[in-house]
Chain A
Amino acid sequence: MKLSLNWIKKYVNLPKDLTMTKLSYDLTMCTVEVEDTVSIKKNLNGFVVGRILTVESHPDADKLRVCKVDVGDTEPSTIVCGGVNLAPNQLTVVAVPGAMVSWHGEGDPVEIKPSKLRGVMSYGMICSSNEIGLEDLFPTTQPAEIMDITNFDIKPGTPVAEALDLDDIIIDIDNKSLTNRPDLWGHYGMARELAAIYGCQLKPFDKVELPKTTDGLSIVIDSKECCARYAGLVVKNIKNVPSPFAIQSLLWRVGVRPISLPVDITNYVMLATGQPTHGFDRNHIKGSIHVRRAFAGEKLELLDGDILTLTTEDLVIADEKAAVALAGVMGGKLDSILSETTELIVEVANFDALSIRRTAQRFDLRTEASSRFEKGIDPQRVDDALAVIVSMLNREFPEAEISGYVDNYPMPLEEAKIRVSLTFLRKRLGKELSEQQIDKYLKSLGFEVSFNGDDMLVKVPSWRSTGDISIPDDILEEIARLMGYENFEYVPPTVVLEKAINQRGACMERALREYLAFRCGMQEIFTYPWIEDEYILASGADMSEMLELSMPPAPNESHLRSTLVPGLLKSVFTNLRYYESFRIFELTQIFKNNNYHSINETLEMLPNMARHLGAAFVGNDARVLFREAKGVVEHMHTGTQMEKLSFAQIQKPMWAEDKLWINILLNDELVGEIGLVSPKVTRDAGIRRSVTVIFELDVEKLKPLASRNNVFTHLPEYPRVNFDLSITFDESVKWSDIYEVAFKTGSVKDVRFIDEYRGSQIGENKKSVTFRTWIGSDEGTLTSDKIDLVTKQIAKKLNKRLGGDIRGL
């Protein structure tokens, strides 16, 4: 919202030495955020008033003229100009050589230099209103029109800002910070706030006489729940003429386009008091004015030309025959102030915030009026607006007659009173305040305070009582912000030391992430919880158990992930554009439309939201990737203080191919799966090269340990020896069987897989498995005979039980 400093100063005498920097800072700290302050004068620097003396044609250019212009110097300047409305004696705006000017009222200033135009030297430029950012105040009627200010009787050479009385500063307030302060949506409200901050006097509005008669005006509020008050004035003998420049200029400064005097007055009132008003052509209003809900399908043509089809939720102003305005949003085109209007009905009303917001939203119509009503204006403000409007009418239309007045205010606003304990204030502020201090701060904001022992009773002014101030904490805030938050020094809180924090769940989750990232060399990723349907379909996940968003980000992204696999597939797909081989993981919640449960409130039934861990290993060798993934899961407990996981083939994941998959178990419970993504899934996910192994784990099922559970084993007293064996088996023989046999041989302490080999030397359906065996004894060093013996025993057992074949033994 834009505010004019000069306008604010009509209502309050600010301290003489107050700089704009200080004002912005103080307002930002205590009240609302000042986004920017703009000096209009500064933007008009370098432009002066010039009087055109002569206009002659240019010797070499049809469209250019050579003018003599008085710009306040002893000699007239020669200026070449292409303006179509140049005329002798005209007053206009000139940028003279040496001046630094900002074109269009913005950007960095540039210097004006004399220049030759088609062979004729030109000393300066005659400007159009558009070139100096004043097109809204001085609209052009044709292209290449220079700004004409002949109506202003000003000496040539006068700076334009001074000539047009535009020495003002525009304060731009962040609208978001104003949301909760409906009292600040006008210049008077901001003046009141500044008066409180700087302890200055606020001027009251003019006292005005309102007519005692209705002059036939009748107002019926049919929808009392949406309209607390509706006042109307009948004004006769007005003309739809342009406003005086001073009024136009004020409106223009704060971003409102001047239209005509009657309309500008209604806008002026709104900008002054924050109370929107509206004018109807009295001759168009048949019978009583009604404030009612629209009929279903009722049509209304608005001032902007849009024809709306209304709903029964929309509030309208209507006469006996039809709706004449969309209440609190915009007037109707047919019955508002028209060019031939001579008699007015001026509406000053209070409408319900929510109703106005809904309607404005429904039709995507945010107007100056609706954005004010939406914040919740107090009905008392109607009186302020009436005072301003009557004095404006008296001044601007001396010949007009205010002949009728009706104020329909069925339920006057109740005074809000808050009881506050002084002890509460002192404790929460951390400061001792006297009753006088408290009284001073609150009074300056319009509150009335009475003290009674530890209690004080605070009467809230009407303009702060529509939701903003209702509890003792609000009063505390009012005092604290006026004292200045910077004046409260940091007070270190005192704490009671209790038990140390021990959060196993949170620790395990972090340990898991750090294990994967730092021990396993994997990169953590985040993906959205909603996923494109194509990846869900590719993964074969069951859509029927997924939750859906009512209004998804995109039509094909309505499902919430019930598994991390689709997101991993997508991430693999996107990263394969830049990488051939990588490892990624994500640890986050999944969502399923089942297992509804309560965590705080029995009525609140929340769906299944287990945390899952998903990982993808991408490269070229499926066997190696699979073993890598398995290794990461197999050793997970070592880095994360949780119970050890085991493996078994129980149920193939939907997305895995037939051979390379295995389930992950914890104490016989299925907790996850590892698998090579099948060719079909790979293809459906758009992945063209590389193979992907994925694992997914239900983190909720993992069991964090209370402490580390490693055990120490004595170092062997006698050295251990190891030897490698390569033995050929049928393909059907599994490593786990080989291990079992070898490990259960006497003196064997450890057996580890090294390698497997397939090839023509070995024969079809055969493989050669190489493994390393450690043997040792607690009684003494093993002799070479003993080592030979154990080696032979292992080979023999593997041969007998598993058909293993070792040459040379």
Chain B
Amino acid sequence: MLDKLKDNMQSKENTVEKNDLFARLKEIKTAGIEKINATFLPEELQLVRANLIGRKGKVTEILKSVGQASPEVRKILGQAANEVKQVLSDAIDQHNEHLLDSLSSVDGEVDITLPGIVPQQGGLHPITQICYDLNDAFNSLGFEVFSEPEITSELFAFDNLNFPPEHPARESMDTYWIKGHDEGHGAKRLCMRPHLTGASVRYLQQHGAPARFVYPGRVYRNETTDARHERAFFQYEALIVDKDFSFASGKILVKTILDKVFGRDVKVRMRVGYFPFVEPGFEIDMLCLVCDGAGCKVCKHVGWIEVMPGGTPHPNVLKAAGLDPSVWSGFYINIGLDRLVMMRYGVDDVRLFHSADLRFLNQFK
């Protein structure tokens, strides 16, 4: 529009003064737009606005001088100046909006590589974590969680479990007997429980059969400690008791644990093993996850790693639990949680679990 106007004007005989005003108007417009777009702060933009179209702005000055021009020019010039004012005003508004939109609420420079702020630094012990993971898995299969106190009697630790009377574990070198309660036999002789299995008979005596339950906990053995041996350690035991339960169904317990812990389908095998409270008894191996059975250092080149014992409850154990072994049968598994956590994370010293050392525990969030 402005260019067309200027052409019109030039085709006529015009004064130098008028030509100057049009040229200035054009210059103000071009420079104005440039200035507007080069402005980065809204406050600056307000200054630019005042400078261009404010009361003392450049365009306003021209508008004011229109009155002195000849009537035929006055109209065209006024129109042109108003047009420029409008264009600049729109540009300012548009740029202002743009500036406001892209404005940061942060003053100054920022370093986005700074570390995040650490959330609450609490955590469960790694043994508790794995134990709860397993509880969840077994809960989903309808297993209850049971526990017995840590001091038990020879009756529940050994007699009920078909340990022969002369079994070495009954002797003081293997089991922690309680002073003042270590003279008698059976129910009168108290010890720190040497394994969890005694709790199975407690549960069955209380609840009867059929039964599905797990009973995790800490057990105690009188041992010389080193990186692989502890006096206090954690076990996880599960028992299912049902009518005519075949040992071939016992694998479900093994798989539930290993698949949960290692987060994948773990291949297992059951082979002959002897434990007083089971018949038949098994040593249960899992395929070495490091070499997939090919043989490596971790599995001592066997391809399999012994992970837990298991088996059908011995008839004498069922009898002790008040169940008829000709009717009831089932399957036990027992796994060492310390060793499982060690395998899972590559922990190299079992004594760390009872160290209360936060440098260790803080690693398991």
A residues at B contact (CB < 8 Å): 28-33, 177, 179-181, 353-354, 357, 424, 427-430, 467, 471, 473-474, 476-477, 480-481, 485-486, 488-493, 495-497, 501, 503, 506, 510, 513-514, 516-529, 547-553, 558, 567, 570-571, 574-575, 578-579, 582-584, 586, 588-589, 591, 593, 599-601, 603-607, 609
Given contacts A488-B247, A604-B187, contact A548 B155 (CB under 8 A): no
Residues of chain B lying within 8 A (CB to CB) of residue A525: 125, 356, 358, 361
Give chain A residues whose Cβ lies under 8 Å from the Cβ of B281.
477
C-alpha gap A357/B170 in the complex (Å)? 14
Q: Which residues of chain A are near B282, meaning CB under 8 Å?
A: 485
CB of B145 within 8 A of CB of A517, answer: no
* B323 CB → nearest A CB, Å: 14
Decide if B244 touches A606 in the complex (CB within 8 Å): no
Q: Which residues from B are CB-within-8-Å of A480?
A: 247, 280
A529-B192 in contact (CB<8A): yes
Q: Which of B42-50, B83-91, B178-186 interfaces with chain A?
A: B178-186
**A514–B187 contact, CB under 8 A?**
no
The 4 closest A-B pairs by CB, nearest first: A521-B120, A477-B280, A430-B246, A604-B187
State how many angstroms separate the Cβ of A728 from the closest Cβ of chain B.
Answer: 35
Q: Is B147 an interface residue (CB 8 A)?
A: yes
Cβ contacts under 8 Å, B244 to chain A: 427-428
* Chain A residues near B220 (CB-CB < 8 A): 529
Closest to A179 in B: B274
**Known A32-B272, A523-B362: A528·B249 in contact at CB below 8 Å:** no
**Measured CA separation A516–B123 after assembly (Å):** 8
Name the residue of chain B whose CB is nearest to the CB of A549.
B176
Q: Is B139 within 8 A of A492, CB to CB?
A: no
Q: In the complex the two chains form, is B232's CB within 8 Å of A529's CB?
A: yes
Contact at A490–B179, with CB atoms within 8 Å?
A: no
- Known contacts A481-B272, A579-B358, A604-B155; A474 and B279 CB within 8 A of each other: yes
Stretch at the interface among B18-26, B202-210, B342-350: B202-210
Instruction: Please indicate the chain A residues that have their CB under 8 angstroms from the CB of B356 in the complex.
Output: 525-527, 567, 570-571, 574-575, 584, 586
Within the assembled complex, what's the spacing in Å between the Cα atoms of A521 and B358? Answer: 13
Q: Which of A429, A430, A514, A550 contacts B124 (CB 8 A)?
A: A514
- B37 located at the interface, meaning its Cβ lies under 8 Å from any Cβ of chain A in the complex: no
Q: Which residues of B contact A548 (CB under 8 A)?
A: 178-180
A533 to B: closest C-beta gap in Å = 15
The chain A residue sitting closest to B251, CB to CB, is: A490
| B32 contacts A by Cβ under 8 Å | no
Closest to B189 in A: A604
Q: Inside 8 A of B245's CB, which chain A residues have their CB?
A: 493
Given pairs A503-B145, A524-B123, 18 additional interface contacts (CB within 8 A): A29-B271, A177-B272, A353-B166, A430-B249, A481-B280, A485-B270, A488-B246, A490-B251, A491-B248, A493-B252, A510-B135, A518-B122, A521-B120, A529-B150, A550-B172, A588-B218, A589-B149, A589-B150
Q: A357 CA to B165 CA in the complex, in Å?
A: 13
Residues of B contacting A567 in the complex (Cβ-Cβ under 8 angstroms): 356
In the complex, whether B353 has a CB less than 8 A from a CB of chain A is yes
User: Is the C-beta of B67 less than 8 angstroms from some C-beta in chain A?
Assistant: no
Known: A490-B252, A583-B122. A30 touches B272 (CB 8 A): yes
Task: Among A428, A521, A606, point to the contact of B122 (Cβ < 8 A).
Answer: A521
What is the CB-to-nearest-CB distance from B255 to chain A, in angstroms, rounded to a whole number? Answer: 8
**A474 — nearest CB in chain B belongs to which residue?**
B279
* Given A29-B269, A501-B142, A473:B274 Cβ within 8 A: no
Asked if B156 and A490 sit within 8 Å, CB to CB, the answer is no
Q: Which residue of A lies closest to B232 (CB)?
A: A528
Kindly identify which residue among A180, A474, A588, A606 contacts B190, using a CB–CB cutoff of 8 Å. Answer: A606
B146 to chain A, nearest CB (A): 8
Q: Which residue of A lies closest to B301 (CB)?
A: A36
Say yes or no for B10: interface residue by CB 8 A criterion.
no
Contact of B249 among A476, A493, A584 (CB under 8 A): A493
Q: How far is the CB of B337 from chain A (nearest CB, A)?
A: 11
**Once bound together, how far apart are the Cα atoms of A506 and B326, in whole Å?**
33
- Residues from chain B with a CB closer than 8 A to the CB of A179 are 274
In the assembled complex, the CB of B144 is this many whole angstroms from the nearest CB of chain A, namely 5
B222 contacts A by Cβ under 8 Å: yes
A contact residues around B272 at 8 Å (CB): 29-32, 177, 477, 481, 485
Q: Smallest CB-CB separation from A572: which chain B residue?
A: B356
User: Which of B124, B210, B248, B279 has the most chain A CB within a 10 Å cutoff?
Assistant: B248
Other-chain contact of B120, A32, A481, A518, A527 (Cβ < 8 Å): A518
- On whether the beta carbons of A513 and B188 are closer than 8 Å, the reply is no
- Chain B residues closer than 8 Å to A486, beta-carbon distance: 269
Q: Are the CB atoms of A575 and B358 closer together than 8 Å?
A: yes
**A429 lies within 8 A of B122 (CB):** no
Chain A residue nearest to B176 in the complex (CB): A549
Contact, CB under 8 Å: A485 / B361: no
Q: Nearest residue in A to B362 (C-beta to C-beta)?
A: A523
Q: How far is the CA of A376 from the CA of B176 in the complex (A)?
A: 27
**Inter-subunit contact A609/B150 (CB<8 Å):** yes
Q: Which residues of B contact A521 (CB under 8 A)?
A: 120-122
Bound complex: CA A606 to CA B152 (Å): 7
Shortest C-beta distance, B336 to chain A (Å), equals 15
Chain A: CB-nearest residue to B145? A506
Q: Does B96 contact A (CB under 8 A)?
A: no
Q: Say whether, besides A493-B240, A501-B139, A528 and B149 are in contact (CB < 8 Å).
A: no
Q: Is B314 an interface residue (CB 8 A)?
A: yes
What A residues does B153 contact at CB under 8 A?
A: 601, 604, 606
19 A–B contacts from the bound complex (CB under 8 Å): A33-B283, A428-B329, A473-B280, A480-B280, A493-B240, A495-B212, A513-B128, A519-B122, A524-B125, A524-B128, A525-B358, A528-B231, A529-B232, A549-B179, A552-B176, A600-B201, A603-B188, A604-B153, A607-B151
Does B236 lie at the interface of the complex (its beta carbon under 8 Å from any beta carbon of A)? no
Say yes or no for B312: interface residue by CB 8 A criterion.
Answer: yes
